[in-house]
A and B are shown apart, each in its own frame.
Chain A
């Protein structure tokens, strides 16, 4: 265990409920070891606040290993913080300077209302998937797993797209609060696989419509989404989704 100890000046977004006004509040957090993750640092802050009889800061997290997509904070202006290909929960404090001032805000977007402090509602992303992000396949009716050979490259490409964890950082980073990267990841995954082809047209049309209905913005190719995506989902999936979309519209 480390003997080195760090401290930070935090400016944390506090908001009591969806309708309440929010503001940045200053806290000093001490006794942080460089091995700690950003969320363990916030846990520590919360322990310190609790001992002082103050209300802890609410934030979402679960797996704490970068796979569930539940965590997500804007750290000094960047979704998931300064390190690329990293989620908030896997970001270690050794990447910050001792004594640094760190601003911590929720993932913001019109479609992601704040519930409390740093916790936002991202159910809009579920509704995009409900619009068609699946293969219509009932349990019990599947052919043998090896019945349809799939070229290794297609499987790998599908897997790249499928690694999206649904965190919503792409939305938070986008100046238009667009959900194109998230949506394209699912469209593209299923477009690479023969299993996804029968419903391809309906899927892309319906998911894109839902995206608009939820109030996500349009994509104007800023590329901020790709830059913050913890799973390095590539914007080439957006190009692919556009192609699929036009195929659906014209065909």
Chain B
């Protein structure tokens, strides 16, 4: 294999990417755009077939909303039911700038916080639209019967979340994602009953079909029979979630994967900012080595919990034995203004630093304490139980320790990916007719996502953005009908089949899970919480070597045309082995630290992230140029007209 290009600077395209941001003042862009785009007439909508891949908040909301408008929708997911998409696991809440608490919130403030939180690497116009739509999301969900928490007076309750200085987070106990998803699922089931949406569960999209350069269909593997199936339509919406499981260890569900997005990338969709990954500070540390799934403890716990480590390195006493004076509440000490509520990237790195200094706690020394003693004394057990009861219960179930009596042990884990397919203002990728929604796109969170804003983005994209922008695309283009008889379908399916057969033919000895764990280890150690050039170069070589081993050693018992989880996993890991290279390459090229991307070489004297606005105020969108070929870098320059990029300070 050609290893030489790995270390060379990326080839750069001269063309600057155009995000098609509508003209006009920030706060009028979306309203004016929406008011001026072409529309599809009601009678014509049912003539359009739209393929929606994914049933999480983004895909589920989009499929339901498009069904309500009268489109013919085919909706796909991996699980046995759309209700199980990983959005279901979100705990903490969803933001909206309702200002119900009269504490000074506004669309502009939510916009400002999100741009700043993203370390000035997000697109202003998109973020403003998100803030603007946030209120309508809450209205929609309440009307669906989502049982949000309420005050005694009957109004909606809010809490402050993830370092926000206003209370703008709406929640349903610790199950906000579940309740929002079940709301969307209800709407989706209503459309299935109405005949507008056809649900195709236990299907995995494995390729995109292009006809005349436009997205016109997909190839899926039926996960029960193993048959390859093709579907045709006038547009494809990808809402397939994020790629945190490239790290193996993550808070994401075991079926989360990047294959659909990666295969679209190979068909021409640019992949943006893959190195912007988020490590969540409060997860239950790994207990067993083979474990892949880590359980998140909601960030809301930091509202009342205090994070600390022993002040002296190598102190192995239990928490109770360490007197107050020998504890270091390091977040409160280093960041007095925000204390325990600093954003995720900052909290995660601080925890890592403490453990690297030998102050970590627990059996492995890779954990810090999250302590509720002070809050229990101040508020009493009933209040704490009402706020966090289910989280405490979950923690105890996993660790067999009672957080009412001993502090929780927490450690950071891969959680969310800000990077994803590049999309313009209309959520369209660089392939006409292929749209990306939710975590699968890169759009709104820059280099770091604030808590409670992913749910907001998924639902904004699905319920309120795509119905307009998709309509505009179709109205302007007026597609001719297409069927899977077109030769492009058979050809794409044949390529997918070939790929599957090559995997089965390896017939090695290594279980896929072990190879996946090895990949995750490389990514976590060298492309994880902190990165530096030599480690990244090494990662690039290790990933290539592992890829070689994978194709010699992988063992997939069973056949193609049957339910076969080892095969499913092997397909996803094979794609991750290709994608991981792009992840490391992007991290290597971005010679600055920003948000979740921390390069050891670029930091302030105090050890904080040091951006380089002059060189890197752009979105890095990568074009696929062939297997083992150097990808081509395209830049979308970011302009900040309403928020002045400054050093993010939470001190």
Whether B400 is near chain A, meaning CB under 8 Å from some CB there, is yes
Whether B255 is near chain A, meaning CB under 8 Å from some CB there, is yes
Give the complex CA separation of A40 and B289 in angstroms: 10
**Quick check: B144 and A138 within 8 Å, CB to CB?**
no
Whether B394 is near chain A, meaning CB under 8 Å from some CB there, is yes
Whether B317 is near chain A, meaning CB under 8 Å from some CB there, is no
Give the complex CA separation of A65 and B253 in angstroms: 9
**Quick check: B397 and A90 within 8 Å, CB to CB?**
yes
Q: How many inter-chain residue pairs (CB < 8 Å) link A and B?
A: 230
Listed stretches A73-81, A120-128, A221-229; interface member: A120-128
Within 8 A of A (CB), among B420-473: 463-464, 467
Per-residue CB contact flags for chain B residues 65-99 toward chain A (1 = under 8 Å, else 0) read 10010000000000111111010110000000010
Give the complex CA separation of A40 and B189 in angstroms: 32
**Quick check: B179 and A43 within 8 Å, CB to CB?**
no
- Give chain B residues whose Cβ lies under 8 Å from the Cβ of A90: 394, 397-398
Chain A interfacial residues counted at CB < 8 A: 79
Given contacts A68-B88, A69-B83, A189-B147, contact A140 B464 (CB under 8 A): yes
- Give chain B residues whose Cβ lies under 8 Å from the Cβ of A9: none
**Quick check: B189 and A130 within 8 Å, CB to CB?**
yes
Indicate which residue in A63, A92, A166 contacts B398 across the interface (CB closer than 8 Å). Answer: A92
Report which residue of B187, B199, B286 has the largest number of chain A beta carbons within 10 angstroms of its beta carbon.
B187
**Quick check: A65 and B293 within 8 Å, CB to CB?**
yes
**Quick check: B291 and A129 within 8 Å, CB to CB?**
no
Give the complex CA separation of A144 and B513 in angstroms: 48
Indicate which residue in B145, B253, B399, B562 contacts A195 across the interface (CB closer than 8 Å). Answer: B145
**Quick check: B61 and A146 within 8 Å, CB to CB?**
no
- Give chain A residues whose Cβ lies under 8 Å from the Cβ of B151: 152
- Give chain B residues whose Cβ lies under 8 Å from the Cβ of A94: 400
30 contacts between A and B (CB under 8 A): A1-B363, A36-B287, A50-B566, A62-B253, A62-B255, A63-B86, A63-B293, A64-B254, A65-B89, A70-B84, A92-B398, A92-B400, A119-B563, A122-B80, A123-B201, A126-B82, A129-B186, A129-B189, A131-B193, A139-B65, A140-B136, A141-B143, A143-B139, A146-B100, A146-B155, A149-B153, A163-B175, A166-B84, A189-B145, A195-B143
Whether B647 is near chain A, meaning CB under 8 Å from some CB there, is no
**Quick check: A134 and B189 within 8 Å, CB to CB?**
yes
Q: 8 closest A-B pairs (Cβ-Cβ)?
A: A149-B154, A134-B186, A142-B143, A35-B287, A142-B139, A64-B293, A158-B147, A159-B147
**Quick check: B290 and A44 within 8 Å, CB to CB?**
yes
Whether B138 is near chain A, meaning CB under 8 Å from some CB there, is yes
- Give chain A residues whose Cβ lies under 8 Å from the Cβ of B143: 135, 137, 141-143, 195
Q: Which residue of B lies closest to A126 (CB)?
A: B81
Within 8 A of A (CB), among B137-193: 138-145, 147-156, 172-173, 175, 178-179, 182, 185-187, 189-190, 192-193
B398 to chain A, nearest CB (A): 7
Whether B312 is near chain A, meaning CB under 8 Å from some CB there, is no
Indicate which residue in A60, A67, A192 contacts B80 across the interface (CB closer than 8 Å). Answer: A60
Given contacts A40-B291, A150-B150, contact A62 B398 (CB under 8 A): no
Given contacts A94-B400, A142-B136, A150-B154, contact A130 B190 (CB under 8 A): yes
**Quick check: A155 and B147 within 8 Å, CB to CB?**
yes
Give the complex CA separation of A165 and B182 in angstroms: 9
Listed stretches A51-59, A97-105, A212-220; interface member: A51-59
B344 to chain A, nearest CB (A): 19
Give the complex CA separation of A1 and B564 in angstroms: 31
Indicate which residue in B80, B156, B253 contacts A145 across the interface (CB closer than 8 Å). Answer: B156
Give the complex CA separation of A130 and B397 in angstroms: 34
Whether A133 is near chain B, meaning CB under 8 Å from some CB there, is yes
**Quick check: A145 and B139 within 8 Å, CB to CB?**
yes
Whether B557 is near chain A, meaning CB under 8 Å from some CB there, is yes
Whether A82 is near chain B, meaning CB under 8 Å from some CB there, is no
Whether B288 is near chain A, meaning CB under 8 Å from some CB there, is yes
- Give chain B residues whose Cβ lies under 8 Å from the Cβ of A133: 186, 189
Whether A7 is near chain B, meaning CB under 8 Å from some CB there, is no
Whether B356 is near chain A, meaning CB under 8 Å from some CB there, is no
**Quick check: A142 and B140 within 8 Å, CB to CB?**
yes
**Quick check: B562 and A50 within 8 Å, CB to CB?**
no
Give the complex CA separation of A94 and B363 in angstroms: 18
Give the complex CA separation of A141 and B142 in angstroms: 12
Indicate which residue in A2, A44, A51 contacts B509 across the interface (CB closer than 8 Å). Answer: A51
**Quick check: A145 and B142 within 8 Å, CB to CB?**
yes
**Quick check: A134 and B81 within 8 Å, CB to CB?**
no
Whether B122 is near chain A, meaning CB under 8 Å from some CB there, is no
A250 to chain B, nearest CB (A): 25
- Give chain A residues whose Cβ lies under 8 Å from the Cβ of B463: 139-140
Q: Which residue of B lies closest to A155 (CB)?
A: B150
Give the complex CA separation of A193 and B143 in angstroms: 10
Q: Which residue of B lies closest to A146 (CB)?
A: B155
Give the complex CA separation of A66 and B84 in angstroms: 11
Whether A205 is near chain B, meaning CB under 8 Å from some CB there, is no
- Give chain B residues whose Cβ lies under 8 Å from the Cβ of A17: 562
Give the complex CA separation of A43 and B565 in angstroms: 11
Q: Could you list 9 further interchain pairs (A-B, Cβ under 8 angstroms) beyond the known A17-B562, A46-B513, A70-B79?
A: A2-B287, A47-B511, A47-B514, A64-B254, A67-B89, A115-B224, A123-B201, A130-B192, A159-B149
- Give chain B residues whose Cβ lies under 8 Å from the Cβ of A67: 88-89, 175, 178
- Give chain A residues whose Cβ lies under 8 Å from the Cβ of B291: 36, 40
**Quick check: A36 and B79 within 8 Å, CB to CB?**
no
Whether A190 is near chain B, meaning CB under 8 Å from some CB there, is yes
Whether A175 is near chain B, meaning CB under 8 Å from some CB there, is no
Give the complex CA separation of A34 and B5 in angstroms: 47
Give the complex CA separation of A31 and B379 in angstroms: 44
Give the complex CA separation of A65 and B173 in angstroms: 16
- Give chain B residues whose Cβ lies under 8 Å from the Cβ of A134: 144-145, 186-187, 189-190
**Quick check: A1 and B288 within 8 Å, CB to CB?**
yes
- Give chain A residues whose Cβ lies under 8 Å from the Cβ of B88: 63, 67-68
- Give chain B residues whose Cβ lies under 8 Å from the Cβ of A145: 98, 135, 138-139, 141-142, 148, 156
Given contacts A47-B513, A151-B154, contact A68 B175 (CB under 8 A): no
Whether A234 is near chain B, meaning CB under 8 Å from some CB there, is no
Give the complex CA separation of A226 and B185 in angstroms: 24
Whether B295 is near chain A, meaning CB under 8 Å from some CB there, is yes
- Give chain B residues whose Cβ lies under 8 Å from the Cβ of A162: 147, 172, 179, 182
Whether B23 is near chain A, meaning CB under 8 Å from some CB there, is no
- Give chain B residues whose Cβ lies under 8 Å from the Cβ of A40: 288, 290-291
**Quick check: B565 and A58 within 8 Å, CB to CB?**
yes
Whether A61 is near chain B, meaning CB under 8 Å from some CB there, is yes
- Give chain B residues whose Cβ lies under 8 Å from the Cβ of A150: 150, 154
B5 to chain A, nearest CB (A): 35
Whether B368 is near chain A, meaning CB under 8 Å from some CB there, is no
Indicate which residue in A1, A50, A122 contacts B364 across the interface (CB closer than 8 Å). Answer: A1
Whether A201 is near chain B, meaning CB under 8 Å from some CB there, is no
Indicate which residue in B61, B80, B182 contacts A121 across the interface (CB closer than 8 Å). Answer: B80
Report which residue of B141, B193, B467, B555 has the largest number of chain A beta carbons within 10 angstroms of its beta carbon.
B193
**Quick check: B293 and A68 within 8 Å, CB to CB?**
no
**Quick check: A92 and B145 within 8 Å, CB to CB?**
no
A242 to chain B, nearest CB (A): 21
Per-residue CB contact flags for chain A residues 176-188 toward chain B (1 = under 8 Å, else 0) read 0000000000000
Per-residue CB contact flags for chain A residues 85-118 toward chain B (1 = under 8 Å, else 0) read 0100010101000000000000000000001100
Whether B558 is near chain A, meaning CB under 8 Å from some CB there, is yes
- Give chain A residues whose Cβ lies under 8 Å from the Cβ of B295: 64-65
Q: Which residue of A lies closest to B557 (CB)?
A: A55
Give the complex CA separation of A106 and B150 in angstroms: 39
